[in-house]
């Protein structure tokens, strides 16, 4: 169970829907990333500032399960918690929940901290580790 | 009548379509810009190279008429010609044509050349003017 | 001066920005349409319900002026008013304003009401006309 | 080793790039799906026709590894093969390769065939199984 959960509301709009009448799968990832940006700002690490400092946290892995179809006008919330916190990388989990709290999709994104100007990983700063840990799924859960 | 026309084929795919069952209007602009990038590469001014040199041609105006609905699986071509060539700006015209050569949409984008690192316009280089002119709509047309 | 203005806040996120370091022009149109959807829901005409009833209001024209560059992390608001209300069509105006109330972009979209299942225009219902009129730019303004 | 590989070329354009200067992760999924649409048309199952017949193959799972950064102007090809062919579902694999044949990303998408108008899976038709099998990764590979 997460100590703390970050919640991000989204409305599914006209362009999220594809020719099959449901949300296009790439748009789930876009919404998840918007939620991630809000989360990072909330915990004191806004992405525009990190990028400006050349502190890059590129995505190296992502996966998603699409459980129930999502339609135009649906109001969802994305709940964020930390799935894994390593020495130089971490994995964010996103649950997409509808107004009845049913899980309609779940996504993971793994981010690695890189040395500025390089492609090699470096250790996550203690302040970030501490901030992420507040949202960690407990290991005994 | 243009001296020369640049033609760019596109296929309308699943995600281009919105909840109303037709191409979402912002996606016409995305396709037009992809055509513009191909056109600029074709005439010797590839955007990645221009951006690398800090030669920026930001869009200052755009407009579009949506004439016929576009559906999933439609095969269109975008025909590009130059609507206007000024001293520091130019306007590109895009005709979206279906397989029966019916015009389904038309778009214009106006680009201004900026002084590197500034917001002030500068004169278009002669080599670019010459290249654009080949695709100009004739004034007596 | 509009009688009433609808205001829609947006945050500019990572994917809104393009390779030139500013918001990609098609993304302004996407944000404008999201604002339009919120506006239509606010005045009692939510798009998902209209589409479900086959009451379609397709976009037939759009235009935009891009006045100042928009960057990652910018917080804007889109202010909506009605530019024109006709018998079977209307034009929505969107002003993109930054936190200092500077206009960074302006967009217009023109929508036509179609007979269900046809491509021919029909008169806007009185209830919609009345609701739109509250946000109309005054003609003596 | 696949018996046969389907190859789909893509050019990375201005809007594919995000504020960190590399391709935004959701855009890999968009490009993969465009490649999937071309593949399905190639093997005789064009998506627009399937959707028209209410033969839906929704995505239930996707995952991706992002191995090397992708930049504006990069020319990639997406190679498609079948990772797994089940009774009512199949998993497509996509390798993103640069001009030097280096793998810059790999994606998987799993699709399930649904009974028309229902959420329950049904067996894949023999004609589709046969067509997919031509692109299957060999089990003894």
Question: Residue A14 and residue B15: Cβ atoms within 8 Å?
Answer: no
The residue written with tokens 């993109």 in the block is C96
**Using CB atoms, which residue from C58, C61, C66 is nearest to B64?**
C61
Q: What CA–CA distance (Å, rounded) separates C133 from C2?
A: 9
Looking at residue A119, its pLDDT comes to: 82
C-beta of residue D19 within 8 angstroms of C-beta of residue A51? yes
First-to-last alpha carbon distance for chain C, in angstroms, is 5
Residue C26 CA: distances (Å) to CA of A81, C18, C81, D18:
32, 11, 21, 14
D23 Cβ contact list (under 8 Å, min separation 6): D12, D16, D17, D69, D70, D71
Q: What CA–CA distance (Å, rounded) separates C48 from B20?
A: 9
D52 Cβ contact list (under 8 Å, min separation 6): none
Neighbouring-strand partners of residue C106? C65, C95
Q: What CA–CA distance (Å, rounded) separates D39 from D46?
A: 8
Q: What CA–CA distance (Å, rounded) separates B119 from B121?
A: 7
Would you give the DSSP letter of residue C22? S
Q: What CA–CA distance (Å, rounded) separates B105 from B101?
A: 11
| HSE-up of residue B47 (Cα within 13 Å, Cβ side) | 24
Chain D residues touching A19 at Cβ < 8 A = 47-48, 51
Q: What is the CA C112 to chain-centroid distance, rounded?
A: 14
Catalytic residue of the set A18, A34, A65, A133: A18
* Between residues D109 and A55, the one the model is more confident about: D109
| Each residue's pLDDT tens digit, A2-33 | 579 999 999 999 999 999 999 999 999 999 99
Looking at residue A141, its pLDDT comes to: 42
Strands across the sheet with B89-97, in order? B6-11, B75-85, B89-97, B103-112, B59-66, C59-66, C103-112, C89-97, C75-85, C6-11
D88's tokens: 């009512």
Looking at residue A51, its pLDDT comes to: 95
C10's tokens: 């947006």
| Each residue's pLDDT tens digit, B20-66 | 999 999 999 999 999 999 999 999 999 999 999 999 999 999 999 99
Written as tens digits, the pLDDT of chain D (141 aa) is 457 999 999 999 999 999 999 999 999 999 999 999 999 999 999 999 999 999 999 999 999 999 999 999 999 999 999 999 999 999 999 999 999 999 999 999 999 999 887 889 999 999 999 999 999 997 554
Looking at residue B141, its pLDDT comes to: 42
* Strand, coil or helix: C100: coil
Q: What CA–CA distance (Å, rounded) separates C112 from C130?
A: 16
Residue B96 burial by Cβ neighbours in a 10 Å radius (0-12, 13-18, 19+)? buried
Question: Residue D21 and residue C19: Cβ atoms within 8 Å?
Answer: yes
**Using CB atoms, which residue from C47, C62, C66 is nearest to B64?**
C62
| Each residue's pLDDT tens digit, C77-114 | 999 999 999 999 999 999 999 999 999 999 999 999 99
Q: If you measure CA to CA, which chain B residue comes closest to D41?
A: B73
| Each residue's pLDDT tens digit, B90-127 | 999 999 999 999 999 999 999 999 988 788 999 999 99
Q: How far is B73 from chain D (nearest CA, A)?
A: 6
| Each residue's pLDDT tens digit, A70-91 | 999 999 999 999 999 999 999 9
In degrees to the nearest 10, what's the CA dihedral of A128, A129, A132, A138? 180
Mean pLDDT of chain C: 94
Q: How far is B24 from chain A (nearest CA, A)?
A: 6
Looking at residue B139, its pLDDT comes to: 58
Q: If you measure CA to CA, which chain C residue comes closest to A29?
A: C15
C-beta of residue B112 within 8 angstroms of C-beta of residue B60? yes
**Using CB atoms, which residue from B56, B63, B66 is nearest to C59?**
B66
Q: What CA–CA distance (Å, rounded) separates B110 from B97?
A: 21
Residues of D near B (Cβ–Cβ under 8 Å) read: 11, 13-15, 30, 33-34, 37-38, 46-49, 51, 71-73
Which of D80, D81, D71 is closest to D27 using CA atoms? D71
Task: Quickly count: other Cβ atoms within 10 Å of residue B124's Cβ.
Answer: 20
pTM of the model: 0.96
Question: Residue D19 and residue A51: Cβ atoms within 8 Å?
Answer: yes
* Between residues A68 and B140, the one the model is more confident about: A68
Residue C23 has pLDDT above 50, yes or no: yes
Alpha helices in C43-112 (DSSP H): 47-52
C-beta of residue A13 within 8 angstroms of C-beta of residue A72? yes
Per DSSP (E only), the strands in B68-121 are 75-85, 89-97, 103-112
Q: What CA–CA distance (Å, rounded) separates B31 from B76?
A: 11
Cα radius of gyration (chain D): 16
Residue C141 has pLDDT above 50, yes or no: no
Question: With helix as H, strand as E and coil as C, how does C79-141 read?
Answer: EEEEEEECCCEEEEEEEEECCCCCEEEEEEEEEECECCCCCCECCCCHHHHHHHHCCEECCCC
With bands split at pLDDT 50, 70 and 90, how would you rate the model's confidence at C17? very high
When pLDDT is averaged across residues C55-60 and rounded to a whole number, the result is 95
**Using CB atoms, which residue from D48, D72, D73 is nearest to B73?**
D48
- Which sign, positive or negative, has the C-alpha torsion B34, B38, B43, B45? positive
Active-site residue, A16 included: no
Q: Catalytic residues of D, which ones?
A: 18
* Strand, coil or helix: D88: coil
The DSSP element (H or E) to which B40 belongs, if any, is helix B25-42
C-beta of residue D111 within 8 angstroms of C-beta of residue D93? no
C-beta of residue C90 within 8 angstroms of C-beta of residue C82? yes
* Strand, coil or helix: C26: helix
Would you give the DSSP letter of residue A136? B
When pLDDT is averaged across residues C25-46 and rounded to a whole number, the result is 98
Would you give the DSSP letter of residue A125? P
Neighbouring-strand partners of residue B23? B17
The residue written with tokens 């006309």 in the block is C129
Q: If you measure CA to CA, which chain D residue comes closest to B37?
A: D13
CB pairs under 8 A between C and D: 32
Would you give the DSSP letter of residue A132? H
C-beta of residue C78 within 8 angstroms of C-beta of residue C94? yes
Looking at residue D29, its pLDDT comes to: 98
Question: Residue A65 and residue D63: Cβ atoms within 8 Å?
Answer: no
């Amino acid at each position: 169970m997460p100590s703390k959960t970050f919640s991000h509301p989204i409305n599914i709009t006209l362009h999220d829907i594809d020719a099959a009448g449901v949300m296009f799968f790439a748009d789930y990832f876009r919404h998840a990333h918007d939620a991630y940006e809000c989360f990072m700002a909330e915990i004191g690490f806004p992405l525009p500032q990190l990028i400006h400092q050349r502190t890059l946290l590129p995505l190296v892995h992502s996966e998603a399960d699409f459980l129930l179809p999502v339609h135009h006008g649906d109001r969802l919330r994305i709940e964020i918690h930390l799935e894994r916190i390593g020495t130089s990388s971490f994995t964010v989990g996103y649950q997409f929940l509808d107004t009845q709290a049913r899980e309609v999709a779940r996504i993971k994104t793994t981010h690695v901290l890189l040395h500025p100007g390089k492609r090699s990983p470096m250790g996550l700063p203690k302040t970030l580790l501490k901030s992420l840990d507040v949202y960690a799924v407990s290991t005994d859960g």
